[in-house]
Amino acid sequence: MIAETPDGGVVLVRRRFPPPGWALPGGFVEAGESAAAAARREFREETGLPVDLVELFHVYADPARDPRGPTLSAVFIGRASGVPAGADDAAEARVFPLDALPSPVAFDHALILSDYRRYRRDGSRPPPDR
């Protein structure tokens, strides 16, 4: 989930469990749950904030994107406001400007955020094989 904030930042969480680093809030779909419902639930669990989904940005499915094993991520763009607080799988949650992201960034989330910056700049979406 790429959650935009009113000041133009995005919400990231510092992972509590390996692999270490900062990441976009997210998680796994539970049985009987839609991808959109899972995105909203995971975001609230990890940040304490509600989020309004705006659009489905892209699907990332490179088999090497997660060192724990193959995963597929349906990345939504949403809007959130308030002060995030890390909970559940997140040791910490903060808002960062796109031009001042923390390091390290886990998984392929640096690529996702780079694609998102380009999308906001010129409207171009990533290629389907990402």
Q: Annotated catalytic, 92?
A: yes
DSSP 76-121: EEEE--S-----TTEEEEEEEETTS--S-B-TTHHHHHHHHHHHHH
Question: Annotated catalytic residue: which of 30, 33, 42, 92?
Answer: 92
Q: Distance between CA atoms of 34 and 29, rounded to whole angstroms?
A: 7
Catalytic residue ranges: 92
